[in-house]
Amino acid sequence: MIVQMRTGSDEQYLEHVLGVITAAGHGYRVIEGTERNVIGVLGGAPSQDLVDRVQTLPGVETVIRISKPYKLASREFHPQRTVVKIGNVLIGGDTPVLIAGPCVVEGKEPLLLTARAAKAAGAVMLRGGAYKPRTSPYSFQGLGVEGLQLLALAREETGLPVVTEVMEPDQVGVVAEYADMLQIGARNMSNFPLLRKAGRSGRPVLLKRGFSATIEEWLMSAEYVMAEGNEDVVLCERGIRGFDPIVRFMLDLTAVPLLKDLTHLPVIVDPSHGTGRRALVAPMSLAAIAAGADGLIVEIHHDPAQALCDGPQAILPDVLRQIADGVAAVHAAVRTPVLA
Ligand code: PEP
Ligand code: MN
- Measured from the Cα of 129, ligand 1's closest atom is 3
Reported as a single tens digit per residue, the pLDDT across 279-288 is 999 999 999 9
Question: Residue 255's pLDDT is what?
Answer: 98
Residue 338 has pLDDT above 70, yes or no: no
Listed in sequence order, the residues at least 6 apart from 157 whose beta carbon sits closer than 8 Å to its beta carbon are 112, 115, 116
HSE (side-chain half, CA atoms, 13 Å) at 178: 27
The residue whose CB lies within 8 Å of the most ligand 1 atoms, and thus the one to mutate among 104, 143, 165, is 165
326 in Cβ contact with 286 (< 8 Å): yes
Reported as a single tens digit per residue, the pLDDT across 200-255 is 999 999 999 999 999 999 999 999 999 999 999 999 999 999 999 999 999 999 99
Helices (H), the chain: 11-23, 48-55, 108-120, 145-158, 172-178, 192-199, 215-227, 255-262, 271-275, 278-290, 317-334
Q: What is the CA radius of gyration of the chain?
A: 21
Q: What is the pTM of this model?
A: 0.93
Ligand 2 centroid from CA 224, angstroms:
25
Identify the residue with better confidence: 68 or 274: 274
Residue 77 has pLDDT above 70, yes or no: yes
Ligand 2 centroid from CA 247, angstroms:
14
What are the angstrom distances between the C-alpha of 60 and each of 4, 20, 45?
Answer: 6, 12, 19
Ligand 2 centroid from CA 273, angstroms:
6
Q: Does the CB atom of residue 186 touch ligand 1 within 6 A?
A: yes
Residue 37 has pLDDT above 90, yes or no: no
Reported as a single tens digit per residue, the pLDDT across 101-160 is 999 999 999 999 999 999 999 999 999 999 999 999 999 999 999 999 999 999 999 999
- Nearest by Cα to 278 from 250, 300, 251: 300
- Measured from the Cα of 165, ligand 1's closest atom is 3
Q: Does the CB atom of residue 274 touch ligand 1 within 6 A?
A: no
Reduced to 3 states (helix: H, G, I; strand: E, B; else coil), residue 268 is strand
160 in Cβ contact with 119 (< 8 Å): yes
Average pLDDT, the chain: 95
Ligand 2 centroid from CA 299, angstroms:
7
